Amino acid sequence: MIRHAAYRRRWRPTRYLLAAMIGAALFLVVVLSSVASFAIGPLPLRATLFGLPGVGFIGAATFFGLRALHDQQATIRVRDATRAVALFVAGMFLWLAVLDVYTFTGEAGPGVASLCAIACLPTTAIGLLVVRRFDRNEKEPWRLVLVAALWGAIVSTSLVVWAESLWDLLFTATLVPGPAADTAAAYSAGIFEELAKGAALVLLYLVMRDEIDDVVDGIVYGAAVGLGFNFMESVAYMTHQYAILAPEGLGFVGAIGQWYFRQVIGLFLGHATFTALIGAGIGIARQMPRLRQRVLAIACGFLAAIAAHFAWDAWQAFVLVGSSPTQLLLANARYVVVIGPFAAVVLLLLVMGQRVEGNALRRQLQVEAATGLGAVLTDEVAVLMSPWQRFRARLAALGRGGLRGYLRLAQLQTAQLHLAMERWHRERREIDQPLAAEEALRGHVLELR
Amino acid sequence: MIETHDDLRPLYRVMLALALVAVLILASGFALLLKFAPPGQSSGYRAQVSGVYLYDSGSGTISGSPMTRFHRTELFAAQVEWEKLPPEMLVSARWTDSLDDEVGATEPTPAPAGSLAREKGLVPVRTSREFHANLPGEYTLTVVRYARGQPVELLASARVTVLRDP
């Protein structure tokens, strides 16, 4: 059966090696930049002491967590998952120590920082819910969507702090204030923030390639990383505004203003859009047959995200900042005018991807039904291809068999769509697993019937 | 070539087109950077900020020794040694607060360094009319040189902190 594996050359270990090298390189960058930052002086020792091991722990937790998802033996899976949780908690603690004790609470106090975080949680959760629903046919597992968001919130933000501080000190601060310095700062934000967020997606693509099926999944994970980053950045800006304006009794007004711009109008029109562009490039690369095309698609995604982010930040130089009605209108319009076109391209790619995916899954389900093996029946195809009809079928199952019946049918539908997706990738020769994996999936579907 | 029913080329082409637009955006940004910070503009001069002092707006004078931290209600001004620059050089200095709003500048802007030197060389911070006192946070002073009507070179900068407590 192994002989029938889709790829003649089984290159998964190469991807893992590449992922390990990128992870090590990222860590090295953080080490070097934090040492340089400390030597030059823009960051206090506390940030380096707590932040650096924090990044290391989160990186290690991600490794063990992802390995746990792939482990076949239950004992090894539990061991890896336990390690991942322990490392994650340690990393979170250390990073939050920097964030809360130094970055935020030092200015606004822990109570305000907590309130800001609580205010951003529901909007970010809604964002993740919406983004996950982009994938109409095969929703991504929550655990991976949350890993992506957490990476964006914790690891990407910490990578950026050091890089942007150094850029500001060595470059932006030497330029004439105004458009030149604003443009330099916009390059910094575009390049470093998108590279830091995109690193998460590249690692996910290399380590968990089978979870990123196509451009739709790439957009979902990209937007999730962006939403996580946006969450942490919102808390930072809200507490910063609060700390500055609180002595004048305007602290909460400033924080609420930031919340509105970053968590309401900028929830999707911001980091989510930028990183979704990187995700789209990676998703397309996932299905490109040649290495050159794959590399080019990923590079295009990064370029688009960096340019979109740069355009957003650079335009600040030409928009008056203030609180008059015209200026507030301009501030709102800026989201639509600058990020709107990029968001429209993301939606276009999403719709095109959904169409390709939908056609492919329908075809695979029909072929599977025609085999007569019983995993998919002919009259199930139309139901499986419509999220609404799937939901109606589950409701009917709820009426017949209660919650148990609902959940069982949900599992069955998911497994059938997994099988169709597996067949699609195998047809395109873009899957690592041997044919035995497809047969195991089919067996799982039959068990669920 | 893989035999498949799907055509992913349109998706791929959209990404390529998007990258082309991205390159144009980034290139136009670089052009903007060159316009406002043209290379080869270094005059070789550096302005000296001798310090930031407590400031009496009534008499227009400074007092005490240079400081880097002020309370919100304390007015302060930077003393720039304009006389060390060529008198005809067009320059200006401005303060920005922690929200990046301008809170004080030399007047008129720009002005010859010689004329600023005759006026004590002070650059005071002015509390915004919207607020009771200076906002807390970092304040940055920048001294720039002008050419052809636009700022082209950063001659000096200084930073002070305004404390949160009154």
Task: At A148, list the tokens.
Answer: 């992506």
C-alpha distances (whole Å) from A57 to each of A10, A33, A77 are 30, 18, 19
Name the helix (H) or strand (E) containing A46. helix A45-70
- pLDDT tens sequence across A209-246: 878 889 999 999 999 999 999 999 999 899 989 989 98
Sign for the CA dihedral angle at B25, B31, B35, B41 comes to positive
Contact A404, A394 (CB under 8 A): no
Instruction: Look at A67-71, A144-148, A212-216, A310-314 and tell me which has the smallest mean pLDDT.
Output: A67-71
- The 10s digit of each residue's pLDDT in A419-434 is 999 999 888 888 777 7
- Spatial separation of the C-alpha atoms in residues A386 and A394, rounded to whole Å: 12
Chain B CA closest to residue A307: B22
Share of chain A above pLDDT 90, in %: 47
Rounded to a whole number of angstroms, the distance between the first and last alpha carbons of chain A is 25
Q: At A423, list the tokens.
A: 């067949």
- The CA dihedral of A414, A420, A422, A424, to the nearest 10 degrees, is -150
Architecture of domain B49-162: Sandwich (2.60)
Q: Is B137 helix (H, G, I), strand (E, B) or coil?
A: strand
**Residue of B18, B157, B163, B164 best to disrupt the A interface, most CBs of A under 10 A:** B18
Choose the closest CB to B18 out of A215, A243, A304: A304
Q: Among A370, A373, A376, which Cα is nearest to A421's?
A: A376
Mean pLDDT of A67-94: 79
> Tell me: the pLDDT tens digits for A234-291?
998 999 899 899 888 899 999 999 999 999 999 999 999 999 999 999 999 999 988 8
B6:A348 CB<8 A = no
Are the C-beta atoms of B26 and A310 separated by less than 8 Å?
A: yes
Q: How far apart are CA A392 and CA A386, in angstroms?
A: 10
Q: Which amino acid is at A238?
A: M
Assess contact for A223 and A339: CB atoms under 8 A. Answer: no
Domain boundaries, chain A: 10-358, 372-448
Q: Which of A244, A248, A314 sits opposite B29 (nearest CB)?
A: A314
The pLDDT of residue B79 is 93
CA distances for A262 relative to A133, A186, A192, A255, A328, angstroms? 21, 17, 19, 10, 14
Most confident of A62-71, A288-297, A319-328, A422-431: A288-297
Decide which of A1 and A251 is more confident: A251
Cβ distance of A289 and B96 shorter than 8 Å: no
> Closest to B37 (Cβ–Cβ): which among A180, A301, A353?
A180
Asked if residue A141 has a cis previous peptide bond (ω within 30° of 0), the answer is no
CB spacing of A299 vs B135 below 8 angstroms: no
Residue A114 scores a pLDDT above 60: yes
Quickly state the pLDDT bin for B16 (edges 50, 70, 90): very high
The verdict on B147 touching A (C-beta cutoff 8 Å) is no
In this prediction, residue A328 carries a pLDDT of 79
Contact A352 B11 (CB under 8 A): yes
What ipTM was predicted for this assembly? 0.86
* Residue contact B32–A284, C-beta within 8 A: no
Residue at token pair 């990044």: A55
* Partner-chain residue, chosen from B11, B37, B153, that has the shortest CB–CB distance to A349: B11
Is the confidence at residue B5, as pLDDT, over 70? no
Cis check for the bond before B87: say yes or no (omega within 30 of 0). Answer: no
Window 289-328 of A, Cβ < 8 Å to B: 289, 293, 296-297, 299-301, 303-304, 306-308, 310-311, 314, 321
Cβ-based contacts of A281 with chain B (< 8 Å): 15
Name residue A44's amino acid: P
Beta-carbon separation of B151 and A281 below 8 A: no
- State the average pLDDT for chain A: 85
**Amino acid, single-letter form, for residue A309:** H
The single-letter DSSP state of residue B98 is T
Which phi and psi angles does A109 have, rounded to 5°? 95, 150
DSSP β-ladder status, B61-63 and B49-56: antiparallel
What is A133-159 written as a DSSP string? HT-SSSPPPHHHHHHHHHIIIIIIHHH
pTM of the model: 0.86
Q: Give the pLDDT band of residue B1 (cuts 50, 70, 90).
A: very low
| Domain segments of chain B as ranges | 49-162
Residue A160 has pLDDT above 80, yes or no: yes
Encoded tokens for A171: 């470059």
Smallest CA–CA separation between B7 and chain A, in Å? 8
Which of A180, A284, A304 is nearest residue B8 as measured by Cβ atoms? A284
Q: Using CB atoms and an 8 Å cut-off, which of residues 358-397 of chain A contact chain B?
A: 359-360, 363
Q: Report whether pLDDT(A319) > 70.
A: no
Contact predicate A208/A254, CB 8 Å: no
- Nearest CB among B14, B22, B99 relative to A307 is that of B22
Q: How confident is the model at residue A323 (pLDDT cuts 50, 70, 90)?
A: low
Stretch among A70-74, A354-358, B125-129 having the lowest mean pLDDT: A70-74
| Contact assignment for B26 to A356 by CB distance below 8 Å | no
A173 touches chain B (CB under 8 A): yes
